[in-house]
Structure 1
Amino acid sequence: MEENNRYCKVCVTGGSGFIGSCLIKMLFNKGNYYVHATLRNLVNRLKGLEGAETRLKLFEADIYNPQQFDGAIKDCKFVFHVATPLLHTQQSQYKGLTEASLAGVKSIIKSCIRSGTVRRLIYTASVMAASPLKDDEGGLKDFMDENCWTSVL
C-alpha cells in the first residue's frame, strides 16, 4: 500500500464500529481520501472494502491508551472521532463512561494539536446519548431502545 499526495489524508477513530466503518466506506466511494483508521483489534472486515488495499492504513489504538492515536493522526488534515469507551470496566482509571469519554476526547484533541496538520476535528458521541445500564446500575439491559436515552441533566 502506497500513500499518494493526490488524496486528502483523514483519520477515523473507531473505524471498525458501525458509524466508523460506514464513514470509511463513504470516504472511499467519494474517491479522493486516504484513510487512517484506528481499531482496538487489527483483525476486522475493513480490509475487504473496495479501495482498502491502496487507501487504508490501520492503526491499533484504544481510547484508554491515548498516546496510541498520535501515529494515526500524524499528517492527517481531518479527524473523525467516533471511537468511544464502550466496554468500560471498574478496573479503569476513570470513574465511569462519561469521564472516560471526556478524557478520550481531550487526548484526541491533543494529538490533533501535536500533529500540526489537522485542520478540523469532527466529533460524534452518539453512543453516549444512550445507556444500557439497568435502573439500579446492577448490570446491562438485554437490549437498547428509546427507554435507554439518558436524561438531559
Structure 2
Amino acid sequence: MSKVAGRKKRIIVTTAALLAVGGGAAFAYWTATGTGNTTTTAGASSNFTITSSVTGGALSPNGPTQTFTFVVTNPGTGVQKLSAVAATVAATDGTAWTAVANCSAADFTVGTPTFTATEIPANGTVTGTVTLQMIDRPGVNQDGCKGATVPLRFAAS
C-alpha cells in the first residue's frame, strides 16, 4: 500500500507543480507598442471621348436647323463627373475655323447642348443633343459657305 500511496503522492505533487507552472504562464505577458505606414498611388482621370451624328437639312442663311446627337464616353477605370459640354464651330484643336474663304464661325449659331450632368461609370456613356443653324448676315455675301464642310467641336468637362 505504501507503494501505491507514494505513487499517488508523486502524482498529486507533479500535477500541482504543473498546474502552478501552467497557471503562472497564463498570466505572463509582454507589453509592446508599434506603428506602421504605407502608401499607394491614386490613378488619374481619363479624357472623355465624344462622338456625334447629325440630322436635318442642308444649312442655308436662316434655313433649317441641324440637330447633332453626341455621346460622351468615360474610357477610364473609375467613375468620372460630367458637368459641362460645349459645342462650337471651330477647328479640331479649338482654334478659329478658317478653312473656307468668305465663310467662318460667325456665319453659324450653335445652340446650348442638352444632356444630363451626371457621374459616368467606367466605360459608361451619356447622350445629349445640340443644334446648329446658319444665320443670315445682312449685307454680307455668304456664298463661301455653299457646300462647305462645317466643323462642330465638342468639349466636355
Q: TM-score range by the shorter chain?
A: under 0.3
TM-score by length of 1: 0.25
Higher helix share: 1
Higher strand share: 2
Higher relative contact order (CA closer than 8 Å, sequence separation 6+): 2
TM-score by length of 2: 0.24
